[in-house]
Structure 1
Amino acid sequence: MKRLLLCGLCALAVNAHGQVLSWADIRDGSLYLQPAQNDTVQVRWQPAWQADAVEESLYLLDGQGRLQGERPISRQQTRGEQDWPLAASAGPYQLEVPGYSFRRYSVTHDADTRALFAPAKVHFSVQAQPDTELYFQVPAGEQASLAGKYHGGVRALEVERLGDGRRWHLALLPHQAYWEFERLALPQASTPQVFRLRLSGQGKAAFWLDGSANLFAQRVEHLGPLAQREGQVHLRVGNTRRGSSARLGVNLPYLLPPKASHAVLDEVQPHAAGWYSFVDVLQRKPDYEQAFRRFYLQRYPIDQDITLLAATGRRSVLDAEPTTSAGLDAWLRSATQWPGHALHYLAFSDEPNLSYPDYASYARYFAAMLEQVQRFPGARDAGVRIAMPASSNLVNGPMREGSRERVGLDWARRLLAEHGEGIDALAWHTWMVRDLLATRSYRQQVRAAAELVGLDANGRPRKALLLDQTNISSGSSLSPYEQDTQFAALWWASVAINASADGLLDMLNWFQLADEPQWPKGMIQVHGEGAGFSAKPVALAHRFMQRHWLPEVLSLDNDAFEVDALAMAEGDQRSLLGVNKATRRQQLQVDGLGAACSRAQLQLLGADDPPRTASLDCHQGRAHFIVPGQTLFALTWQTADTHPATRSKEAP
């Protein structure tokens, strides 16, 4: 039996083996563990909300960033446990609870194991018990601030400086915009300062540090910097063509962009696009879309796009009634006049599994719209194709009550059974994978989609796979630490690499091109009336990726967890695009270049610099180079042998 001595997020307990520390109800964050002697970390979880509709994973990394443990958690496992051994020589370990989590995780370890918790910023990290207390440290000379956001639970942060007892109170207030929060500037000092933090209230809590290491401890003696050991990565590029890399694109606005924005838009250079079409607008103005559709299709190399039918304001629930029917007819007439030879996928609703009353309601509407398209003369010759269901999430359910009955994959399976011959593509949207280590789930999504539609004789999905909207967060639940920083660049590169890794995905679109007042989640920042436009870090990353993005995916062996990479080919051109998601620098060895290694070029894209050429060493056909923390890289070369590589599957 454990005997609790303290209450809150953290608890000191005693069991038969001595003192242990417990961390309760973590929903989003990293726990760093440096065992003084061999230890075992115990993780337990229970449902928080809609857990039976969501798959999750936990990750344990060692001190060099290598994966030591991964625990997939199925939808059926709303409760469970996982134990992992911790070797004293392999720390500091990182136990990652990726947010947004639908479960509450409690972690227990030996009290002598040094433990530091890094909470998420803006998003809530824990569900705290009353008067939870933690400690943090600000090194000498650092100008730090403590920040917090009200999520309906903890209502204030109480701070005490241990050296002199000085106290501060930071009230957390409701805000209309999710990304608004409170911040308390802490005094700068010539010596290290230790503070006690008390969370006033209980429930969802968001607290973090800016200007200093964002780390909190239960014990003062656990405070201090974390050791950052260099990572070692081994990549081996193969010659097997796995399939096609996804076309990278963005969701485009429902208007002709102003001339002042053209230069920054040109930097993005989308190869795919997502649109909304408002049926009530098209009913009144059948030619409304012609000007901006022509602008984008003629200016950029877009050979695939997708349109979601909606009503003004992106209202997603439509019925098979005269306004919708007239709007669809107007859209189909316009599609026969658009320039070029792009495929124009059409989805009849935006995230129906989130918004419609039930599957039957959407299925009736889908059937009526499909019949109308099939009757329209010339639609297929103009490149019009049918995509379904454009669901909110695929293997998981949407963020609403009753989510278990609304899993995107389940709705898609039923539509395929009813209308398989009339459906050309499976489309879906993914949100709330807010952890850089959890982006590997995108590869799992694509594999699940391919399994659903099946593969043809060439190993290609029988229906096109379109991940036509994705972003770090859904709706307006946005953090500027993510959307407006290098984090978004790392995230987008990692998502694109993982989603394309098996050569199965046709389209991948960032949502959306430019900031909107209620949804500042674009690649392009809008500075206000007449103030111009600028590219965010994610746009700069997108441009870097496009420059090194080739149409075919090659086989690649990768022994790293913090570094994602994708090998691509076009003729005798080769590209290895990668991203170091960690703050540690990584030593890379790349095999498979052969004699071409001496001709290879390396480019890096970090947080504060334009793309720069970096040096690499070649030895017996192997490339060796260093990638700094939080940096994209591209290794490019031309093969000496221009004969086609061996194919296990014929590329499309």
Structure 2
Amino acid sequence: MKRLLLLMSLGLGLSAEAEPMRWADIRDGSLYLQTDRPDTLTVFWAPVWQAEANEEHLYLLDGQGKLQNERLIAANEPSGSQRWDLAPGAASYRLEIPGYSFRRYTVEHDDHTVALFAPAKVHFSSEPRDGDELYFKVAAGEHAVLAGKFHGGVGALQAQRVSDGQQFSLPLKPYPVYWQFDKVELPVATTDQVWRLHLRGSGKVAFWLDGTVNLFAQNPQQLKPLHEDEGQTRLTLHKDVLGKTPNLGIALPYARPPDSSFAVLDALQPQAGTYYSLVDIMATRPHYEDVFRRLYQDRFGITQDITLLAGRQRRADLRADTTSNAGLDAWLAATRALGGKGTHYIGFADEPNLNYPDYASYQRIFNSMAWQVRSNPDNAKAGVRIAMPASSRFVNGPFVDNAADKRGIDWARRLLAESGDKIDALAWHEWMIRDLLATRVYRDSVRKAAELVGLDTQGRPRKALLLDQTNMSSGASLSPYDQETHYASLWWASVIINASQDGLLDMLGWFQADDEPEYPKGMFRVLGENEFELKPVGLAQQFIRKHWLHDVMRLENDAFEVDVLAMSAGLQRSLLGVNKGSRLQRVSLAGAECPLTQGSLRFFGADNHSRDASFKCLEGRISFDLPGETLFALSWSTS
């Protein structure tokens, strides 16, 4: 009877009937499923916070990494369910529940299906109930670490070794910064060891393993090695050009960078800059920005940029008062003095849908400042263009209450209808798409932005599209597993490829250039007063820029774990790709003449170094083996 009562209380544990097996209240993670007989997978979801403002995706991959099924959950589906059939096989399916999620997900399947849960690290992955338990295995000789982070719910993790009952308790403490967490080293053994994990307390939690596989089961019999088959990626290149590649930019410091930092900035080769202009500084010191803006233009060759108006102490809710107007006037004068060498977009607010109480408040400052810009035709001659709304996210709502009334796409639609003749560009920021398998939503958002502004007779957006700020996380909600590792390289490459895929985007910007103490989310870190070092994502950016060409060519790609962008410039051709999964992918390409003239294949892997790789030409197809978690660039000439 006690056992039955315990099972009824479990969230991540078994249901009372023990069939089907149930995983409850998942928020961010992967569930690997392997079955030896037909089974049905059922996913239920329920709203947590702002679900009505946010659409979400579920992905089911087969044992070869192909997309078996996808479920788009619309914003008007706060609750619902989805059923999928699972076929028998030796390789595991993968159900992906990408975070950040605005819904809780419960997954059911038959208890004979082997199920292993891979939770996200640092970010909360589930909302278990007090007393829930899971199992994990540490192989012989492994130096395993159990880690967890307090998110206001579960207050402690308790690990008990099944073989002898040895226990370790890990209290989860609140920390002043998001990226801090608790961990405990587990003893090294000469044989494989199974551990029981008890979750103490209820509510949100992050728990994970380092030094061993990050997989948890509901019973120890299911702690089997994960089996994934090799993948197949078939590409077909076509001759038609879809559009141009976006200028790849970074958010640059609001100060003149020291000469000692020029080497890392040169390595990144930014094609665009994203800036802030602080109106309360410019109103009294109108030449404050001259030195570094001219340096970015003349020394680093950045001739496309966007500036967002703000105030000191990160004040974003500006008003059309004398200080803001004087600050804008000073910025316009400084821009005219740059000599008209490029295109300088100006946004009158930073993420107004997040920082203003309502649309009308933003509309007032936009109308006032747009008139201020347009009233002097010399501004347009100097390359000044007006961008809006620079929203926090676009299709989905910002991280604020009443987000359904503040979606960037809705505010942009209203402003285009009311003041379309004053608008030159549509700009937005994208955050919290942290999962590598979810990055295709970047392509969706660019397409929806293009649909909103409309296309001209050449198929180009009538307003420039600027995705000028993006990162895995917003603000300081940062994980070192994301920002400091090769994961950021895979993510950034995938975002670039997906956002650029249709040739519609003009600018794509990583936020930000350098780490700050409170925001360590840069492409390079500051080691000392005059010492700087590229982070893995900065080294990946360097690799990407070496192979970046001007135009986007049409490419068919049947893979889901491998993203690829085809580019051209004159006679040059380049395929930039990334294998986001851990499995080997056998890649083949049709549409390029064999043998390739001046052909070259380069890989960029977890060691942050690029290296030559070999490829074959057989029966008119180029083929090569692409390791897991690797960027690649295949280059050749058509002459």
TM-score class normalised by the smaller sequence = over 0.9
In structure 1, distance between residues paired with 2:580 and 2:340: 38
More displaced stretch, 368-377 vs 108-117: 368-377
- Corresponding residue SS for 2:522: coil
Equivalent in the alignment of 1:7? 9
Post-superposition CA distance 1:547-598 (Å, at most 9, x none) = 1111111000000000000001111110000000011111100111113525
Contact 1:488/1:537 (8 A) holds in 2: yes
In structure 2, distance between residues paired with 1:441 and 1:551: 23
In structure 1, distance between residues paired with 2:327 and 2:12: 57
Equivalent in the alignment of 1:386? 386
| Residue 527 of structure 1: how far off its partner (Å) | 1.8
Q: Does structure 1 residue 282 correspond to structure 2 residue 282?
A: yes
In structure 1, distance between residues paired with 2:609 and 2:181: 31
| Residue 171 of structure 1: how far off its partner (Å) | 0.6
In structure 2, distance between residues paired with 1:598 and 1:358: 57
In structure 1, distance between residues paired with 2:146 and 2:226: 20
Contact 2:585/2:627 (8 A) holds in 1: yes
Contact 1:10/1:21 (8 A) holds in 2: no
Equivalent in the alignment of 1:40? 40
| Residue 12 of structure 1: how far off its partner (Å) | 2.4
In structure 2, distance between residues paired with 1:231 and 1:7: 40
In structure 2, distance between residues paired with 1:612 and 1:340: 41
Equivalent in the alignment of 1:85? 85
In structure 2, distance between residues paired with 1:624 and 1:204: 46
Post-superposition CA distance 1:221-276 (Å, at most 9, x none) = 01132113211110111101111111111010100111221111110010011000
In structure 1, distance between residues paired with 2:133 and 2:622: 49
In structure 1, distance between residues paired with 2:538 and 2:133: 40
In structure 2, distance between residues paired with 1:332 and 1:130: 59
Unmatched tracts of structure 1, length 5 or more? 641-652
In structure 2, distance between residues paired with 1:323 and 1:599: 58
In structure 2, distance between residues paired with 1:604 and 1:220: 39
In structure 1, distance between residues paired with 2:47 and 2:6: 22
Equivalent in the alignment of 1:562? 561
| Residue 10 of structure 1: how far off its partner (Å) | 2.3
Q: Which amino acid aligns with 2:540?
A: A
Equivalent in the alignment of 2:211? 211
In structure 1, distance between residues paired with 2:447 and 2:333: 35
Equivalent in the alignment of 1:646? none
- Corresponding residue SS for 1:493: helix
Equivalent in the alignment of 1:313? 313
Contact 1:29/1:97 (8 A) holds in 2: yes
Post-superposition CA distance 1:468-500 (Å, at most 9, x none) = 000000000000000010000000000000001
Q: How does 1:165-244 map to 2 (within 5 A)?
A: 165-244=165-244
- Corresponding residue SS for 1:353: helix
In structure 1, distance between residues paired with 2:609 and 2:220: 41
Equivalent in the alignment of 1:635? 634
| TM-score when normalising by structure 1 | 0.96
- Corresponding residue SS for 2:440: helix
| Residue 339 of structure 1: how far off its partner (Å) | 4.8
Equivalent in the alignment of 1:335? 335
Equivalent in the alignment of 2:20? 20
Q: Which amino acid aligns with 1:474?
A: S
In structure 2, distance between residues paired with 1:236 and 1:603: 20
Contact 1:128/1:202 (8 A) holds in 2: yes
Task: Tell me the matched-pair count.
Answer: 636
Q: Which amino acid aligns with 2:10?
A: G
- Corresponding residue SS for 1:540: helix
Post-superposition CA distance 1:83-117 (Å, at most 9, x none) = 11111126300000000000100000010100000
Q: Which amino acid aligns with 1:13?
A: S
More displaced stretch, 46-55 vs 256-265: 256-265
| Residue 14 of structure 1: how far off its partner (Å) | 6.2
Q: How does 1:386-465 map to 2 (within 5 A)?
A: 386-465=386-465
Equivalent in the alignment of 2:150? 150
Contact 2:340/2:381 (8 A) holds in 1: no
- Corresponding residue SS for 1:286: coil
In structure 1, distance between residues paired with 2:564 and 2:352: 34
In structure 1, distance between residues paired with 2:37 and 2:598: 48
- Corresponding residue SS for 1:295: helix
| Residue 375 of structure 1: how far off its partner (Å) | 1.4
Equivalent in the alignment of 1:466? 466
Equivalent in the alignment of 1:75? 75
Equivalent in the alignment of 1:594? 593
Equivalent in the alignment of 1:604? 603
More displaced stretch, 161-170 vs 339-348: 339-348
More displaced stretch, 280-289 vs 2-11: 2-11
Q: Does structure 1 residue 367 correspond to structure 2 residue 377?
A: no
More displaced stretch, 67-76 vs 592-601: 592-601
Contact 1:62/1:90 (8 A) holds in 2: no
Contact 2:392/2:429 (8 A) holds in 1: yes
Equivalent in the alignment of 1:541? 540
In structure 1, distance between residues paired with 2:90 and 2:410: 42
More displaced stretch, 4-13 vs 160-169: 4-13
In structure 2, distance between residues paired with 1:157 and 1:10: 14
Equivalent in the alignment of 1:31? 31
- Residues 389/491 of structure 1: CA separation in 2 closer, same or farther (3 Å cut): same
In structure 1, distance between residues paired with 2:143 and 2:574: 42
- Residues 609/486 of structure 1: CA separation in 2 closer, same or farther (3 Å cut): closer
Equivalent in the alignment of 1:617? 616
In structure 1, distance between residues paired with 2:238 and 2:568: 11
Contact 2:316/2:355 (8 A) holds in 1: yes
Equivalent in the alignment of 1:97? 97
Q: Does structure 1 residue 552 correspond to structure 2 residue 551?
A: yes
Contact 2:90/2:227 (8 A) holds in 1: no
Post-superposition CA distance 1:429-462 (Å, at most 9, x none) = 0000010000000000000000100000000000
In structure 2, distance between residues paired with 1:250 and 1:599: 32
- Residues 191/618 of structure 1: CA separation in 2 closer, same or farther (3 Å cut): same
Contact 2:13/2:133 (8 A) holds in 1: no
Q: Does structure 1 residue 258 correspond to structure 2 residue 288?
A: no
Post-superposition CA distance 1:183-212 (Å, at most 9, x none) = 100001110111110111000010000110
Contact 1:14/1:20 (8 A) holds in 2: no
- Corresponding residue SS for 2:14: strand
Q: Which amino acid aligns with 1:618?
A: C
Equivalent in the alignment of 2:581? 582
- Corresponding residue SS for 2:568: strand
Contact 1:294/1:339 (8 A) holds in 2: no
In structure 1, distance between residues paired with 2:36 and 2:594: 48
In structure 2, distance between residues paired with 1:40 and 1:303: 55
- Corresponding residue SS for 2:293: helix
Contact 1:558/1:565 (8 A) holds in 2: yes
| Residue 9 of structure 1: how far off its partner (Å) | 2.8
Contact 2:238/2:553 (8 A) holds in 1: yes
Q: Does structure 1 residue 133 correspond to structure 2 residue 133?
A: yes
Q: Does structure 1 residue 478 correspond to structure 2 residue 478?
A: yes
In structure 1, distance between residues paired with 2:154 and 2:299: 50
Contact 2:539/2:608 (8 A) holds in 1: no
In structure 2, distance between residues paired with 1:624 and 1:388: 44
Contact 1:607/1:631 (8 A) holds in 2: yes
| Residue 338 of structure 1: how far off its partner (Å) | 1.4
More displaced stretch, 553-562 vs 374-383: 374-383
Equivalent in the alignment of 2:295? 295
Contact 2:179/2:480 (8 A) holds in 1: yes
Q: Which amino acid aligns with 1:389?
A: P
| TM-score when normalising by structure 2 | 0.98
| Residue 129 of structure 1: how far off its partner (Å) | 1.3
Equivalent in the alignment of 1:643? none
